[in-house]
Chains A and B, each alone.
Chain A
């Protein structure tokens, strides 16, 4: 009788790709809930749209490529991409924004490059950039914190806005975004940029209602929630510490320096670290294993590079939030970073 033949090792650690992705998605939950608390139900609807489109697109692409569907679909990577994108776009963005973005992310950025593990660019960030460039108006129509909002939205209203562009009562998105004084609200970073360009100092900008003692209302807590989720991932050893630490460290250091040099002309370090997508990106976007560097030293360089780029674009560039562009630029340098940061192999002496 012949026995079954197998190759060593015959035992494996019980962490699978699907489980890893699921863990990452669950670590986003605190942030999502906080976002929903401050900015309404829009984020749930966007999640629904993006994740379903992602699944469908992945299924269609796998079928077209004649690849095994069940195995690839159940590794949760498409769902994760959809989630990341849904969280990045404004909660009241029209439904087709999420749809087009997710379609682009899965079909062109992931599957066209070869599927899971083969894409060079972070799909969620590439899709975000596409949407930002294509639909600048929709992509910058962020809501202010609900405490600041004049018109209250319930779930049904939100759904209706997303699907049709108008609430059930007929208010348009622009009207929703307007504060008491009639001016449309913006994100903290956006506000700072426009005001600084207009000539206001930073401190004057801080007097805007969207700011709350030097921090953006609502955005601060959302960032904190994502930080908590990221720390959970670190503890679970799903992600490695090098990238978040180097990213936040570099960005913090640079903003600290500029704050020290020119306190009135730039946002404070705290503001930078807690506004926009900094915390979210540090733990969830940058640590995407497929598009990030693989060696530990390389990861440090990668994180630092992105921090540097984010700082540059926020300070001098035309866009208020720069994480997506910085990530895409750094993705291009990953093969080079990997090549030059190989560890010294055992027994090879000093290299």
Chain B
């Protein structure tokens, strides 16, 4: 680098490849000094005039602002604020046609000038050398200084390069034809420019400052040389006129013979370059304290008589400018913002002058004729000769035209600086730069689409994986619990004996019921299917169904063993289930329903292919009856039953239910009910017993609930409050939960209650199990919500829920839901067998009351009945939907 600096100081210049020599036409506008135009009536200041993020607007419509007042705040490092160009009132803040080739409206702030042009408070920082560098940079940012060369890169960002700055390059080249703003600034304000450079030099501490000027500006060269006289590290270098020598990369190549590597910025090779206009703005910001509110704009073109440079406030509408320069309005068809090589045509006269406006070119038709129609490319290679980036514009053209994006990128499309030299020389008038811009936009769009698609794909795959995981977990759990059940059953001999006996009885009954079951079968088959969904419960149910089917199809010896197992299973499930009903053991749809009907209609034996199940279910029924009888004598309290059920649930969780325990538990449950309802105790048929037991339980639950409400139990009170406050909503919630659960493939993580419920319900009744599961989930959710309010974490909640599984409210709701589910199903079955309804409802209430055994809350029963109707409706809906799908 040292030798390079020496070379530069000695005056060595290099060259960049390519380049063209368009007619310069600078004399049109560089003869007169920079002048001012009168104030406009209103100014439209775009909020975003820099490369970077959009800023926060500080003013509102109707505010009074002074000249130089900040209109936006700068939030992050990359943004610069905009300031009011004159004093006045804020008008509208809305999208206004923007200074962009597309003319798309961009958010702009309208300032209605009051004519006074009052400055706000400004604080010059002439002694900036005493301030820390970061402060100075901060002032530059606050003044809103952005690159005035055309790109509007936030200037303050350039002052903090990663590498130490070796060369500070001041770009006074102004290679584009017609534009003379930098020329006049250098001629008239050379000293100020040098002051501005000194500010930058203070911040960057470069080893050398090079001021590059083209040789078509002799007066500017003289002025700058005079101003730098005596400064050791300031050199003025004169470049031969060639377009686009003023491009940052090209000027660096000419001055230092270094190429900015692809993907890097000039600061990475130790060169920081700033435009002369920007430096002048820095001078004003630091030495005068004035923010960037105006800039020198060349207004030129043969259509204008008073062509020259004007200091225009940022935000001046072009209409105002046109009104004040003498121009031929009749034949004014184009206004080009910028030069003829890289400028863009503006959409209409309302476009404002912004920080990047260096020229307003209003040409006549002869001066800059319209583009002739494009012809075929003759492969002459002129474009490749002209390209300053040594690209192959011809190949880029072929591939852009054919929309071969990957090939275009392979030929380094994105290295094109869009200078327009290739299109300038093309003999066939092909708008090459337009093709490249279009292709670049298409490639960018395609990349964005790809990213979006990839994200969507990722989300989808993660979700699928999660669902799979959940499913797998559930399957595993079921498997484990099933195995444990089997094991426990095999070890319990007495239970097996009893089961065997019961099965024998059931078989006999079945034989009688053959005729009616045909009808019931179809209906009852339909029911579980309608409520079928893709949850684990179904699969587990089906799995168990399959297992039992397989077991039943084997040899007689096996059958006996399987019979026993089945009976045990049935019994256990009946006991585990708080809502012990007559429909236990629904290993396969037909048998369960047959058993149910078997138990419900004692005179009729179901015709089924599964004698074992019916036996089992009959056994369960009898067991229950026994239980109820025993319970009459027992004296159980809600808490006891709770404990029992808690132990029950605990045993469930551990998956080691013993029939005796279950029996005991159910006995205790029933005892609670029976203690409250003497009527139930006197029933004869097991069904009636059950029903009455259920009712009793419901009542008991309500009572318990009422009892508990008086207790200052945090959870229960909260729950009860909730219950009392929203009895209906609870029911609705449960309904919704049930519906949701039934209609969608669930994504809810079942709480431990639900897990317990699953295990108990699976082989009993899919509807009920699902309903209960849904209810349980609803419960859990609600409890979770409340726990969150009480700042209890979710897993703890779940545990708490599990522990208070038999909490009055929860239970009542669950019961209600089950009731409703049952009611719905039974309603459906009403078509087939009218007599069942009554028993079913009884069983419903039995179920409800079994849940209510601990609470003994009579009010709940009424609520339950109300809920029952709703649940029925919801379930019926769900079923219908199921059937549809």
Q: Is there direct touching of A and B in the complex, by C-beta distance under 8 Å?
A: yes
8 Å CB interface, A326-351 against B? 338, 342-349
How many residues of chain B are within 8 Å of chain A by beta carbon?
66
CB < 8 Å neighbour of A345 from B376, B415, B428: B415
By a CB distance below 8 angstroms, the chain B residues around A75 are 375
Best-surrounded residue of B20, B371, B411 (most CB of chain A within 10 A): B371
Contact (Cβ within 8 A) A117 B389: no
A127 vs chain B, min Cβ distance (A):
19
Contact (Cβ within 8 A) A116 B376: yes
Whether A9 is near chain B, meaning CB under 8 Å from some CB there, is: yes
State A290–B376 Cα separation when bound (angstroms): 11
B410 and chain A: residue at smallest CB distance: A342
Contact (Cβ within 8 A) B379 A294: yes
Known: A6-B334, A345-B391. A289 touches B343 (CB 8 A): no
Contact (Cβ within 8 A) A345 B389: yes
8 Å CB interface, A105-150 against B? 115-118
8 Å CB interface, B379-406 against A? 379-382, 384-385, 388-392, 394-395
Interface residue stretch chosen among B257-265, B279-287, B791-799: B257-265
Whether A164 is near chain B, meaning CB under 8 Å from some CB there, is: no
CB < 8 Å neighbour of A295 from B260, B335, B384: B384
State A8–B423 Cα separation when bound (angstroms): 9
Known: A12-B429, A345-B390. A5 touches B423 (CB 8 A): no
Consensus secondary structure, chain A interface: loop
Whether A17 is near chain B, meaning CB under 8 Å from some CB there, is: yes
B336 and chain A: residue at smallest CB distance: A10
A97 vs chain B, min Cβ distance (A):
28
Known: A4-B333, A4-B345, A6-B345. A20 touches B380 (CB 8 A): yes
CB < 8 Å neighbour of B376 from A4, A8, A12, A117: A117
8 Å CB interface, B308-364 against A? 333-336, 338, 340-349, 363
Q: Which size class do A's interface residues fall under?
A: 35 or more
Known: A3-B335, A4-B334, A289-B380. A17 touches B427 (CB 8 A): yes
By a CB distance below 8 angstroms, the chain A residues around B249 are 346-347
Contact (Cβ within 8 A) B379 A117: yes
Contact (Cβ within 8 A) B377 A348: no
Whether B433 is near chain A, meaning CB under 8 Å from some CB there, is: yes
Known: A10-B343, A13-B424. A346 touches B348 (CB 8 A): no
Contact (Cβ within 8 A) A9 B423: yes
State A15–B349 Cα separation when bound (angstroms): 34
State A4–B371 Cα separation when bound (angstroms): 12
Best-surrounded residue of B253, B259, B260, B335 (most CB of chain A within 10 A): B259
By a CB distance below 8 angstroms, the chain B residues around A117 are 376-379, 428
State A10–B339 Cα separation when bound (angstroms): 9
Whether B177 is near chain A, meaning CB under 8 Å from some CB there, is: yes
Contact (Cβ within 8 A) B424 A12: yes
B220-236 CB mask vs A (1 if < 8 Å, else 0) is 00000000000000000
Contact (Cβ within 8 A) A10 B368: yes
Contact (Cβ within 8 A) A3 B373: no
By a CB distance below 8 angstroms, the chain A residues around B333 are 3-4
Whether B412 is near chain A, meaning CB under 8 Å from some CB there, is: yes
Q: CB within 8 Å of B: which residues of A?
A: 1-13, 15-17, 19-20, 71-72, 75, 77, 115-118, 240, 289-290, 292, 294-296, 338, 342-349
Given contacts A4-B334, A16-B427, 5 further A-B contacts (CB under 8 A): A1-B349, A4-B333, A17-B375, A290-B378, A347-B389
- Residue contacts A-B, CB under 8 angstroms, 22 given: A2-B348, A3-B335, A3-B346, A6-B345, A6-B370, A6-B371, A7-B101, A7-B433, A7-B437, A8-B338, A8-B343, A8-B418, A11-B424, A117-B376, A117-B378, A117-B379, A338-B395, A342-B411, A345-B412, A346-B259, A347-B259, A347-B260
Q: CB within 8 Å of A: which residues of B?
A: 17, 20, 22-23, 101, 177, 249, 253, 259-262, 264, 333-336, 338, 340-349, 363, 368, 370-371, 373, 375-382, 384-385, 388-392, 394-395, 411-412, 415, 418, 420, 423-429, 431, 433-434, 437
